[in-house]
A and B are shown apart, each in its own frame.
Chain A
């Protein structure tokens, strides 16, 4: 089972360039998330989605945009990359099954290591 797949796994950008990170899940999960992880900071939620066609801001949304046009895909865009966005980006998904929703864990992709020069 593929689970959650992130592409690309590594990328180096120059300041001001744009790019899109792709997350795909094959578990039919309703909820999807984008996090960034920096040394000593833990996981910080950038944006999330509770269903196809819906997105919302997390803790650190500035400089990022997202789209969820299809249930299985969640895209994270950087319109004008800045060195402060150098980080490891993780996508995650989570199921929604009514009464047991609160017990559902999140499943993570392998991460995308992004460096902005």
Chain B
């Protein structure tokens, strides 16, 4: 089983739609959580951290459910520019001190 699992998609949605992605992680010792965005052939960039109480940044809302070990990302009022791959990222406290990346969920917003 992968440490971080995401539905690869693609999610095809019209402009203005609300779309949600989920991600599950297997290690209950995971400490911190992030969503990254990756555009085609570009480097991953931090979209937002995910806090236990949930957090919002403009049209983006992230939620964490530790009991069920999943993280969600909600995008409201989708824009064409939101088209990208969204990576769920988890920090497990190990000697490696590296984040564990999911394979990503691809979003395509259509006009």
**Chain A residues within CB distance 8 Å of chain B:** 31, 33, 40-43, 45, 48, 50, 56, 58, 88, 90, 94, 96, 101-103, 105-111, 113
Contact = CB atoms under 8 A, between A and B. Distances in A.
Interface string B59-75: 00000000000000000
Contacts of B87: 42-43
A43 B104 CA distance: 9
Contact of A42 (B42, B43, B101): B101
A31 B97 contact: yes
Given A42-B101, A48-B98, A103-B91, 20 more contacts: A31-B98, A33-B98, A41-B103, A45-B98, A48-B97, A50-B97, A88-B41, A90-B43, A94-B98, A94-B99, A101-B97, A102-B32, A102-B93, A105-B36, A105-B46, A105-B49, A105-B89, A106-B98, A108-B44, A111-B43
Nearest to A57: B96
A56 B96 contact: yes
Taking each of A42, A50, A88, A110, which has the highest tally of chain B beta carbons within 10 Å of its own beta carbon?
A: A42
B73 to A, nearest CB: 15
> Which size class do B's interface residues fall under?
20 to 34
A103 B96 contact: no
B96 A111 contact: no
A54 to B, nearest CB: 11
28 contacts: A31-B97, A40-B8, A40-B103, A42-B102, A42-B103, A42-B104, A48-B97, A50-B95, A56-B96, A90-B44, A94-B98, A94-B99, A102-B91, A102-B93, A103-B32, A103-B49, A103-B91, A105-B34, A105-B46, A105-B89, A106-B46, A106-B89, A106-B98, A107-B46, A108-B43, A110-B42, A111-B41, A113-B41
Interface in B74-111: 87, 89, 91, 93, 95-99, 101-104
A99 to B, nearest CB: 12
B28 interface: no
A89 to B, nearest CB: 11
A26 B25 CA distance: 32
